[in-house]
Amino acid sequence: MSVLRREAEWYFDLTPEELWPIVSHTARVNEAAGFPSYQLQETARADGTVERRGSVRVAGITVEWEECPFQWVHNREFHQKRLFTSGPIRSGTIDFHLDEEGEGTKVRIVLTVDAANAIGVIAGRVLMHRFSRTFERLTRQAAEYLGGKRTTLYDYKPPTPNATSRDRVEVAVARLEAGPYAHNLAQRLADYVTGEQDVAVERIRPLELARLWEAPSRHVIELCLAAVDAGLLAMRWQLLCPSCRGGKEAVSALDQLPSGAHCPSCNIDYARDFARNVELVFYPSATIRQVPLGGYCLSGPATTPHVMVQQTIEPGEERRVAVRLSPGPYRARALSGSESDEFEVDEDRVLPQVEASDGKVEAKAGDVGRLIFVNRRNHAISLVVESRDWVADALTAHQVTTLQAFRDLFAQAALRPGDEAAVDRVTLLFTDLKGSTALYERVGDAAAYNLVRDHFSYLTRIVRENDGALIKTIGDAVMAAFAEPADAVRAAITIQQQIDGFNAAHRSDNDEVDPVVIKLGVHEGPCVVVTLNGEIDYFGSTANLAARLQGQSRGGDLVLSEEIAKDPAVAALVANMPLVRESAPLRGFAKPIAFRRMSFDGARKAA
């Protein structure tokens, strides 16, 4: 019957790059505006695309619509359209633009409503007026927050907890503070869980929270793990889709983790990768706070922040899009399906022509500063250009299971019997005592047992402080795992540098030799993760070689594999330390193995 249009503009003394992360987070904006959360049903079509139907109940009435794919250009604009299946409004669109103007930004919003009848005209005008005023208010609050003029992003009122929930929070905080993992952050976490928006707490990522709080990552990870044990948080493992990076399959325990999943948003099947797409996230315990099902925006730019440009191209259409992409690796793909092509952006900022034809998406030679999208298919297709960097804030299963706090708090967390997961890179540290037989003979069984036990505690402390985990003890030996090679090497160096202090504290008056001399070996590479004796363990040639390298240690030194020594972070760490190249035949390996030996001043030899 009538198409209504409303346009508004505002100016802010902030750059588009500063405003974009806030205003494009449509879920946060919608929740702060008081909009209800909604459900989204995704169904694959015969042509490989996906139909998305949303529904929400408002004032007892169910409103349903088809949600067209969002379109956006990173830091510049986004477009949303909904086609309503019933009611007085046929469709509604939002066009949002950030335009540079001087040293600031002109924010421009265009609202369009296609009204089906007179009631739709009235309703459309009211909705557009209210939305425009609400959006301006929230954007001004966000600008004040970014400018340091307010301490909270929005004037958000969290749900008021009842007396029982408040008591549970107090008990949880007290339990956290009484343990070793609070790091003076327990109350801060409790305030975050009870006071932040639903969209902030429905999926708490410890690495993201650590960056927000400017706190060490390990401290926040340990805090969240301990908060589960204390009853403040719950946790779930989710399989991230390699395309949209969303968690499409979620379970509460590792032994429930499937080996693969289907992503209805992208219409693809994908496999489990323990070190890449199995993520551990946290959310409030249901006894503390109920987070509603659904979401406040389920397909906006903030749901896939790695996507720089997303555009829906009609059959036969060619579209040029100006965009600033930093140099680096990118991928062009269809929003639904597995067709993709990878490309690099160099310092000259030459961007490709992204061409969709039957069965493939190709990135061909293009233009400077402009992406060219071409659709040669007989139906509309949404095309995506995304960064190939993985989710920076994802705490992977591999990362968390190589932390000592996880093994201390969730010792029984394991894969299903017979299940195994591959990791393409884990760093293993093996230790052993030199001359342990002589030690038992010299000091007696009881004293030697106590000394070995204390030495295990000494090693565990240093491993934990360097973001690793003790996997198991084998007699007097230790196997520890680390997600990062430099952490393992730093731990090994610390063990040898601080051993004099340990020995001084454990030396009796008539001791003429050091109580313990430690042998160390470090190697990294692919491994198989399995469950052994009810706990996560590592097997394969990487573990075998790490153990053999420890066997080459003379005691008081450190043996590094060539792979470890060549790692850039390790090379920087040991740049000023003495390393000697050696090689030796090792049991189980066909050819001699090259390695590097690091000696330490003051290293002792056992008698």
The 3-state secondary structure of 159-212, one letter per residue: CCCCHHHHHHHHHHHHHHHHCCCCCCCHHHHHHHHHHCCHHHHCCECHHHHHHH
pLDDT-above-70 percentage for the chain:
98
pLDDT-above-90 percentage for the chain:
72
- Comparing 22-26, 35-39, 128-132, 439-443, the range with the smallest average pLDDT is 439-443
Sorting pLDDT into bands at 50, 70 and 90, what band is 392? confident
Sorting pLDDT into bands at 50, 70 and 90, what band is 442? confident
Q: Which amino acid is at 534?
A: G
> What is the model's pLDDT at position 602?
45
> What is the model's pLDDT at position 280?
95
Tracing tokens 């573990």 back to the chain, one arrives at: 543
Mean pLDDT estimate for the chain:
91
160-208: pLDDT as tens digits: 888 999 999 999 999 999 999 999 999 999 999 999 999 999 999 999 9
> What is the model's pLDDT at position 603?
40
- pLDDT of 604 above 50: no
Does this model's pTM top 0.85? My answer is yes
Whole-angstrom distance, CA of residue 19 vs CA of residue 14: 7
> What is the model's pLDDT at position 605?
37
Q: Domains plus CATH for the chain?
A: 2-146 (3.30.530.20), 163-195+203-290 (1.10.10), 306-387 (2.60.120), 410-599 (3.30.70.1230)
Alpha-helix runs per DSSP H in 395-512: 397-401, 404-409, 436-443, 445-465, 485-506
Whole-angstrom distance, CA of residue 251 vs CA of residue 332: 31
- pLDDT of 607 above 70: no
Of the candidates 311, 297, 374, the residue with the CA atom closest to the CA atom of residue 77: 311
Tracing tokens 């009842």 back to the chain, one arrives at: 162
| Helix 217-230 vs helix 206-213: crossing angle, to nearest 10 | 120
Percentages helix, strand, coil for the chain (3-state, rounded to 5) are 30, 35, 35
342-351: pLDDT as tens digits: 999 999 889 9
Other Cβ atoms less than 10 A from the Cβ of 191: the count is 13
- Would you give the end-to-end CA distance of the chain in angstroms? 97
> What is the model's pLDDT at position 601?
65
Other Cβ atoms less than 10 A from the Cβ of 231: the count is 16
Whole-angstrom distance, CA of residue 353 vs CA of residue 343: 11
- pLDDT of 233 above 60: yes
Pairing outcome for strands 518-532 and 421-433: antiparallel
Give, for 290, the enclosing helix (H) or strand (E): none
